Structure formats: C-alpha cells, structure tokens
Structure 1
C-alpha cells in the first residue's frame, strides 16, 4: 500500500503544481510581456516485480515559459522600427503644421507684392508707401517667426534626446540587474526563472523601441546589449551609460556619446526613438532651416539689387531694402591653432542648402559637405583671391594647425536675421533714376530702347550725358573721345547702360539725365514687382516663391512618407506581436481547459490516496481482527 500511497501523493503534488501554474497564467493574462508557463512531467522509474514493471508515479520536471527566441527577436526589431516611425511621424507633422499655419510665407509674399502693386499705381501716395512698409515688416516677421519655430522644434528635439538617453540608461541598468539575478537563479539549479526572464525580455523590447540594439545571448543565461557599431549598453551584470555632449562646432546642438569614452555615436544610431530624433534633425529640420534661409537670401538679394537701381522721393538712389542674416562660421572646439575663417555669399544662384566643413591638413585647405563628400574649391583663400565654392567665398587668416576645421552654415541664420532696413516711406525707390531722350533734330531711325543702372554706386550716375553720333558707327559722350557703336550693343557710361533701336545717323544725339519727376514715376516699382517671379536660385531657375514651395513640398513629402511608414510599421509590429503571442500569450480558453484537467487529476489522485488508505485500514483490521 506504501507504493500506491506514494504514487497517489506524487500525482496529487503534480496536479497541485499544475493548478498553481494555470492560476498564475490566468492572473497574468493582462501583464505586458508575460509568457504563459507550462509544467513538464516525467514518469518516475518503474519498480520491477517479477517479470514486469509497475509504475511508481510522476515527477514534476520543470515549469517553463512558452518561448521562441526567434519570435521575440522579430518582435524587438518590429518595436524598434515602430518606435522610430512613430517619433519621426510626430516630428514631421509638427514641422508641416508650422509651414502651413498662420505664418505661411507665401501668404506674406503675396500681401507684400500686392502692396507693391499699389505703390506702382500711385507712386507718390504716402499711405500706399506706408502700407508697403507694413507689409515688408510683416514679411520680415514671417521669416523670423518660421525660423524661431524651427529653432523651438530643434530645442524640443534636444530635450527629447536627453530624456530618451536617460530612459535608455535606466533600462540598461535594470537589464544588468536582471542578468545578475537570472544567472544566480540558474546557478542554484532550481530550474528556469521564467518571471525574471519575462521581465528582462520586456525591458529589451522597451529599449529596442528607444534605440536600435543588437541582443546577444550568453552561455551563462545573461544577454549582452549593443548599440551602434558595437558600443555595449549591457554586458553581464554591468551596464554602460550613454550621454549627451555639445557638438564640436555648435554647443547648442547635442550629440549622443558613450559616457565613459566620450566617443560620438550619433552617426551610428539608426533605430528607435533616438534614431528618429537624430535622423529628423539632420535630414529634415536642418535642411528645412537652410532652405528657408536660402529663400530669405534670395528675396533680400534680388529685391535689394533692383531697389538699388531706383530713385526715392528724396532724389537719392535706393539703398538696401532688406537685411538678411550672414553665413555662420563655427570653429571646432578641438582646434589648436589661431586660424580664422570668414564666409560670404557671392553667387546666390549657386547657393545650396548644405552646410560645409573647411579643414586644414597642415599644408592645404579642403572643403567637404557635412555628409563627407568633397567639394571642389578655386582660389587661394586670401582676401584678394578667396576660396570659392557653391556660391560662397572663404577668406582664411591667422595660423591654423594641422587638423583644425571650421563648419560653414551659409543660410541657417539668414531667415532669423531677415528684417526691413528702411523705416521712411519716402525712401522706397519706386522711380527710375534716369531718363533718356533722342534729340529733336535727329534724322536717323534710332530710338531709345531702354536705360538701366549697372552700378548704383558710380559717382557720375546722376550726371547729365550728351551722346552725339559723329557717324552711324561712332559717337562721343559729352564731347569726349570717339567710341565705336555696334548696332544691338548697349552704350555704357557712369554706371548706366543705354539700349538703342533702329539706326542712328550722323549728327543724331541722345541725352541721359537724372529723373526730375521721381515723385510721379513708377518704373522701378514695376521692376520691383517682377522680382516675385524672377529666377534667383538654382542658376536663375527658381524664384523666392518657388523656393518656399520646394520647402513645403520637401517637408510635406517627408511627412507623407513618415505617415505611410508608421502605418506600415504598426502593421508589422502587430503581426509580430500576434505571432509571438500565439506561442507565448495566455489563452483563457486553453487555461480553463487545463484548469479542469488538473482539477480532475487532483481529485483522481486524492481518490487514489483514499483508496490506498482504505485498503491499508482493511488490511490492519484483518491482521488484528
């Protein structure tokens, strides 16, 4: 009866463990990251009786979680991609909202040029001129506001970088502690610590959503977690923190670094929220700020150039109408020499949206963009012969040391520095500064085709000039030396250029003089209006409005792609989660069936024990009866 009793007790205990495991599964049905646990039973060694063996019961071999390393790894990868897509979509959506909000640049441009049209219609009207200045200030505010909003979004990215790094460090520490506990549990020989393993896997999944990681299982049941090109976050019971540090060129911009070594990891991080933040900053936000600045430079350059060719109500040549932020030159914090670099924009049509790095190797300077691509330069870097590349000029000075470098940001600060340079409506140069006329006694068919200003700073620009043709192919200006006239070619002097049509005859004359009717003249105002559609950028193919359209299109495209990517990654993540849960998830119906099965087994084992007890009691009664 002892064997029967022992067999019944083993079944009772096994069923009890089964019931406890099922109840644990049911209790954790809503616990994120929990893997259902299964009990493994083994039959006890049978007892030989004569020519046969009689079973002696059951042993509980293990309580293990339902788990697939492959499916969990796939889930972690999906979580990393989803985390990146969600953060990237959120940031691009914010940038899109800024561009399409109340500070829409195209609306401000349209209002400004509308006011300019009113000045062209009534050039002497003080109220029209006042409205134009107000619209110019509003346009300046729009450039500044958009730049400020971009900067605020950049500051938000900075804060999120710090918060995400702190979260990663906290999770790394927790994984390291669990590694130690799991290793100790296995070393005790008491089986698999399922709940600890689940907690670790949940943290690995969480850290995967924060940054792209590589997880490597070790022989002692710990896991090592790496980021980038092999930087360890966790190794055994040790964790290694990330940190943020100021960019070598721009202290206001944070880089992700390894806290212990200080090695910059920014370019190595691709997945998770952290990867999205870095990618958005370098591939969307910074180019958008540069493109906005490029539009500001184009607007100021083109409008100022035409305004300088006009005359204001005071009879003076038009001056600068808009100011714009200058290119920024940032020295590397590690520079050892005393070298200096100054940068200026010399060809707006060749300007790009890139930033550049100018580096000295000890004997020569070289230029590359921030992606590391080499950019060809001409010149020697002196003030008389500056380096030139992509519409920029660089002048170097001082004594640079080998390895010194400077970051050039041609347009990043341009929009922030955009403002209206004049405050007096009378200084709006709406009139043409010069008028040209043919002599009343001319006999040839020559006529004035137009006059333009080529050098507004020329001291003799507003002086009178009398052009007399000594023959159909020669002329003099104010009785000076004879000059050759080529039909179709302009006559130029004192910063102006006169075009003639037809064929002048000998003794024909033409006069050029200052415009005495500047108050009622609108010639330059009409030309200023044409700046709206003037090709300024991209070798004269892109206007200011079109440049802004390119900006909104680029950001809109990035936002659309980010939205699509998020939809795709959500689907991939849900599929990976469902597949993983199909193996590891708790199914209430299955657990209910297991509960009934273990309950019945428990009751049956109890009946075996009761039967053994009855037989033993009957035996005792027979012996003593």
Structure 2
C-alpha cells in the first residue's frame, strides 16, 4: 500500500516544479540569439507517495542532426576556401591585360617583321624590346604566384594555430564537464557542453572530424580526424598540429605532434577536408601546378629561341648567341642529409626545350669514388610537387640511374628531362644524400634578356649552297636546315660541327658535292679530298644525312656533323656540282629569322610530366593552364553551391530539434504560469484547511 503525501507537500512540490519549468523556459527565451545555444528541457517523475520528484534539466539534441551539420560544415569550409583562392588565379590568368599569350604573340610578330627586313635596325631593336616585355610579363605572373604561395603559408599558419586552440579548448571543456557532472547528477552542464559543441563545430569547419563518447558516461567526448588520427583522447590529453617543409620550406607538410610524447605523425593533407583541406588542395592542384607550368613555358620558349638563334648568323656575320639567360639553380638539401653545407647545382640543357617538363627532380647519391676527378653515382627521379613519383603510361616511376659522373666545379652532366647537374663537392657526398631540384617553380623571375645589340640577332643562316653555272641538270636547291653550330676546331668533342667560329668551316669539312650519276654523288672537302661516295640514292632530300648514313662517312664519332643539311629538286646529271660555303656577306638572308618566327607554331613543349604526351605549342600550353585553372574553379563553385544547400538543410534539421522556438516557448510560459498558479492555489487551500483544523482543536 502506497502512503499518500499530505496536501501541503504535494502543493509545495508542484510550486517548486513549476518554478523550475519557468526558469528553464525563461533561460531558453533569453538565449534565443546566443551562438551555439541548445534549448533545454526539464523533466519530472511523479513520486509514489504523491507529488513531483526532483527534476532533471538536459539539452534537447539530435546527435544524428548534429553530426550531419558538422559534416556539411566541413564540406562548405573546404569548397569555399578552394573556390575563393582559385578564383583569384582564374581572374588573373583569364584577363587579357595579364595574358602571356599576347606577349608571346607580340614577340614572335616582331621577329617576323625583322625577318621581312633583316637589315632594318629598328625592326631588330623592336625584337629586343618585345623580348624584354615578354620576360617582364613572365616575371610578373611568376612573382604574383610566389606571393600567393607566401599568403597561403601565412593562412596555413593562422588556420593551424586556430585549430590547435580549439583542440585545447575542447580538452579543457571536457575536463570541466566531467567535474560539473560529477558534482551535480540532476542538471546537465548545458553551458559547458554548448561551448564545447560550438568549438567542435568551428573545428569541423577547419577539418573533417568525428566525435564519440568515451564510454565513461561522464559527459566528455573524444575527437578524431576522419582518417582516424586522434586529436582529443579519452584520458583528457590532446595532440596538436605542426607545419614543416622539407626540403622546401615554402612547401609545408602537416604533422600531428603528441603533447605527452616526443613523436610526430605525417598526415595526408589531401584527406583533411575543411578549410585546411581546401588550402592544401588549392596549393597542390592549382597553385603548385600553375607555378611550374608557367615556368615550363618560360624555360621552353627561351631555350628554343636561344637554340635557334645559335643556329643562325648575325648582322656581323658571326654565329648567333643566346638572346635570353639560361638560369641556374641549386638543389635543396633534405634535413636527413649527411652534411647540409654540401651543394648540388643544376641548369636546363641548351637543347632541353622539348624535354623539360613541369616536374621536380629528386637526385639521390648512390655511390662516390675518389679520383682525378672524383666521380659520383646517382639516381634521378621525376616527382610531383607533393613528393609523389611521376609515373609513365604503365604506372612505373620515371627514374634513371647514372654512374661515374665527374664531380667537380664547372662540369655539368645532362640527365633525363632536359636537366644538367653539377657536383662541386667531389666525393664528399654520402650515399643516401638527396637533393630536390625545382627548375620550373620560380624560374620565370630569373630569366633575363642578355642580348643588348640588335645586330646580334641571327636572322641569316650561316651556310649557303651554290650550284655550278656549268651544271647541265635541272636540280635546284629547295630546302636547307641547321641543327648544330657547336665550335670545336679539333673535331674531338662529339658535339662538334663543321663551323670554326671565325666565319668559316673547319678544315676537312664537306665543301662541295659532285654527282657522278642520277643515283650517286661524291662529297669533297675544301682541299678537294673525297670524303665519301653515296650510291643508290632514290631522292635528293637531306643529302648530308644520306652521306652520314653511308658506311664510308669519316665523321661517325660526331653524331651531328656537319650540322647543316639541304635538299634538291629536279634531276642532276653526271658532273653537276654544288658548293657548300659559309654565308659570308649574307646579311640580307632571313632563313633563320623565319625559323625563329615560326617557333610559335611548332609543337615543342611536353604536355605531360611523364613525357609520354603529345608535344604542344607555347600558346597551347598557356591555354591549357588557363583552361585548367578555370575548369577547377568552376567545378569548385558548383561543389560549393551544392555543399551550401546541404548545410542549409542540415542546419534547419538541427535547429528544428535543438533551436529555440519562441512561439513554443511562449506557449510553455503560459502553461507553466498556470501550473504555478494552480499549485500555489493548492498551497493556499492547504493552509486554509490547516488553519480551520487548528481553530477547531483550540
């Protein structure tokens, strides 16, 4: 049998309960505009003896809605950050005022104008002016992207600092919540939990995280990255983020450091999500690629122009030289190297225009040997900006091993990808030492126009072919080409050409060809010595190459000798003779100028880092940069709009459960006022009954 409580006790408990309900409702109304506030609800159980028991106040929250809001907040943070940063580069590269394509067109147009009038000094001077404008535009774009990299690193520092503060705040709030719940079993510490949830939501905007109860039923939660790494642990400790760049201090990697142990863990930046994930994605997919592809254009264009100008003859009837500088760069030391004072230098090979890609180069020492000179063994691997290997079409890393390379000052050795390396420290390197070369990252700022005299532009070809006036056949010169002007009068260097560098040919070089019949010709030097007889010819194209392919060719050790070639059209007869000579007084010649102007239409540049793609023109390569940045920016904008729509839905869902509804709270206020008044009336009735009983018994 349940004993009933007296009327006074029941009334008192009712007044107390209604007062607590009114306090909870009033608190909800007062905090309707408080950020992160979750509405509270007080519930009571009736007592077996009668009346209302002690109430429990707790937050009204749907964990599923809360987690969905956090996930959608992470998505918006990532795509918004990615889109905002990418759109800046998109606007710059898409602007006609900043277009590198326009600068390239003006430069090659001026070259065409100079070729039309090779003796016009004003036209030649215009070429140098447009060359300066071109490198200035490249430098401006490259400097702009370097500034964006610095801004990115500042933002990474600020964002990581904010994330660390939030992690520390969450851990501290966890501790306070444990204490509060331990001291009060009936009322949930809503203010502390709201602050913690608000900090977790802000952290979710920065990176993708997950939370779960620690199983102790003390109100604290554990926080992990979605990839599994712990941020706030069960025992109350926490881990913090660190940024470090090795070997490039401007290319930061993200690490997670334990506050209790001297250990760090490298994190996969591409899986972080949120603002920090958007920043890393923007760096890897847009900024880093754009920097290197712009540098690739700058190197390929200037190298190709230099190479072609060296194949010509200038106004002073000398072999042409470089118009643009060929920048050199130093390899970056890895922190684990044996001696950080050791250096390794690099430069683009003079003929590397069509081989250079946008990739970085990882050079590892695999062996050293003392001697005269010292030598080193190395492995060169093409890598992406994030350090991953560039792979070929079969998925294999593009790498090449070299042994016995001279290791001394001013000795460069060409390796894969159009790069030349110098090892100035001899055998001081240690096996395992690694150096990173970034030839295209900021090269645009170090290329200059080194040619100052318009006379030095080599518009003419340095050789000519004259037909003998006594020729009886109708064979005529139709085409001539240049491939090599490297000067080595001793003809001992494999790179040697027939040019002596003094306005003539090296002794013993081909000086004329004589046809013995329609299908046979003989090559003679300037001393009328026979060099080779070529028989059974089927056409008259590239006669020098046909001679070099003959078994009797005396210059087999020189793969690109004599460095020039020509073709005939028509049919020669026995005795027809063609003389090959240096193009003395040929200043009106524009053959090399036409080749220079035509470079803009030639497929010279590598389209892909693996070297397996088709070659493209300079304009096509720049268009690829513009379209790639534009496409990624547009895609990010679409993803951002979708993510914002999802966040709006999840926010509405969360607010419908946990947000304060003023209409509902106003109705509750009236209801609880009435219950309070009714309970107070019961209390008054009880008092009156007590007074009546008391007066009867007196």
TM-score exceeds 0.5: yes
CA drift of 1:125 comes to 2.2
Question: Which residue of the partner structure matches residue 244 of structure 1?
Answer: 243
Partner deviation per Cα, 1:87-139 (whole Å, 9 max, x = no partner): 11111112212222432211111221222222123222222222221111110
Rounded Cα–Cα distance in structure 2 between residues aligned with 1:453 and 1:466: 17
Unpaired segments of 5 or more residues in structure 1? 47-55
State which of 540, 555, 572 in structure 2 corresponds to 1:488. 540
Matched, 1:43 2:27: no
SS in 2 for 1:312: coil
Question: Which residue of the partner structure matches residue 282 of structure 2?
Answer: 280
Relative to 1, partners in 2 of residues 1:300 and 1:33: Cα closer, same or farther, differing over 3 Å? same
CA drift of 1:593 comes to 1.0
- Alpha-carbon contact 2:304-2:353 (below 8 Å) kept: no
Query: Any residues of structure 2 matched to 1:109-508 within 5 Å, and which?
Result: 109-191=104-186, 192-218=188-214, 219=216, 220-227=218-225, 230-235=228-233, 236-245=235-244, 247-260=245-258, 261=262, 263-268=264-269, 270-326=272-328, 328-336=330-338, 341-345=344-348, 347-359=352-364, 365=379, 367=381, 369=383, 370-372=387-389, 375-383=397-405, 388-392=415-419, 398=427, 400-458=429-487, 460-461=498-499, 462-463=503-504, 465-472=511-518, 473-477=520-524, 478=526, 479-481=528-530, 483-485=532-534, 486=537, 487-492=539-544, 494-508=562-576
Rounded Cα–Cα distance in structure 2 between residues aligned with 1:134 and 1:12: 92
CA drift of 1:422 comes to 0.7
Question: Which residue of the partner structure matches residue 555 of structure 2?
Answer: none
State which of 655, 658, 664 in structure 2 corresponds to 1:581. 655
CA drift of 1:287 comes to 1.4
CA drift of 1:68 comes to 1.9
Question: Which residue of the partner structure matches residue 602 of structure 2?
Answer: 534
State which of 8, 11, 14 in structure 2 corresponds to 1:8. 11
Partner deviation per Cα, 1:342-394 (whole Å, 9 max, x = no partner): 54545443433222433457798473632146524445243379684444466
Partner deviation per Cα, 1:246-285 (whole Å, 9 max, x = no partner): x221133333233454625342551121122222222321
- Alpha-carbon contact 1:323-1:420 (below 8 Å) kept: yes
CA drift of 1:611 comes to 1.9
Question: Which residue of the partner structure matches residue 631 of structure 2?
Answer: 557
TM-score, scaled to structure 2: 0.82
Question: Which residue of the partner structure matches residue 508 of structure 2?
Answer: none
Rounded Cα–Cα distance in structure 2 between residues aligned with 1:582 and 1:328: 60
Rounded Cα–Cα distance in structure 2 between residues aligned with 1:366 and 1:217: 50
- Alpha-carbon contact 2:328-2:345 (below 8 Å) kept: no
Question: Which residue of the partner structure matches residue 515 of structure 1?
Answer: 583
CA drift of 1:546 comes to 0.8
Rounded Cα–Cα distance in structure 2 between residues aligned with 1:381 and 1:24: 78
- Alpha-carbon contact 2:76-2:205 (below 8 Å) kept: yes
Rounded Cα–Cα distance in structure 2 between residues aligned with 1:343 and 1:294: 15
SS in 2 for 1:238: coil
Matched, 1:25 2:28: yes
SS in 2 for 1:451: strand
- Alpha-carbon contact 1:39-1:60 (below 8 Å) kept: no
Rounded Cα–Cα distance in structure 2 between residues aligned with 1:601 and 1:580: 30
- Alpha-carbon contact 1:327-1:345 (below 8 Å) kept: no
SS in 1 for 2:694: helix
Unpaired segments of 5 or more residues in structure 2? 368-376, 407-411, 490-497, 506-510, 545-560, 607-612
Relative to 1, partners in 2 of residues 1:111 and 1:433: Cα closer, same or farther, differing over 3 Å? same
CA drift of 1:616 comes to 2.5
- Alpha-carbon contact 1:185-1:193 (below 8 Å) kept: yes
CA drift of 1:182 comes to 0.3
Relative to 1, partners in 2 of residues 1:360 and 1:368: Cα closer, same or farther, differing over 3 Å? farther
Rounded Cα–Cα distance in structure 1 between residues aligned with 2:540 and 2:206: 68
CA drift of 1:318 comes to 1.6
SS in 2 for 1:59: coil
Relative to 1, partners in 2 of residues 1:412 and 1:502: Cα closer, same or farther, differing over 3 Å? same
Rounded Cα–Cα distance in structure 2 between residues aligned with 1:449 and 1:500: 5
CA RMSD of aligned residues (A): 2.7
SS in 1 for 2:331: strand
- Alpha-carbon contact 2:247-2:334 (below 8 Å) kept: yes
SS in 1 for 2:405: coil
TM-score, scaled to structure 1: 0.91
- Alpha-carbon contact 2:330-2:344 (below 8 Å) kept: no
Partner deviation per Cα, 1:462-491 (whole Å, 9 max, x = no partner): 437343334441223331215324333423
Rounded Cα–Cα distance in structure 2 between residues aligned with 1:361 and 1:572: 53
